[in-house]
Amino acid sequence: MDTTTFSQEINVFHGKIAPEKAILVGYGAVTEALQLQIPFPNKLSLISKKKTELRR
């Protein structure tokens, strides 16, 4: 069974600074890992080590 991991730890994503060091997950992580030339969503999902919820 092939287990491919798409998530990655980031500080900056395509010129946008993350509010804190976090793991990029979901749609953003897949498009980045596969280097897909498609539009980014309005919202990206990040998971941090802190118990913080930010919506921007």
How far is Cα 38 from Cα 55, in angstroms, rounded to an integer? 23
Write down the domain spans for the chain: 8-47
Task: Indicate whether this model's pTM tops 0.85.
Answer: no
Q: Could you read off the pLDDT of 4-55 as tens digits, one per residue?
A: 788 889 898 888 888 888 999 888 888 888 888 988 778 888 888 887 666 7
Grouping H, G, I as helix, E, B as strand and the rest as coil, residue 55 is: coil
Residue appearing with tokens 């980045």:
32
Name which residue leads in pLDDT, 40 or 3: 40
The pLDDT value recorded for residue 7 is 86
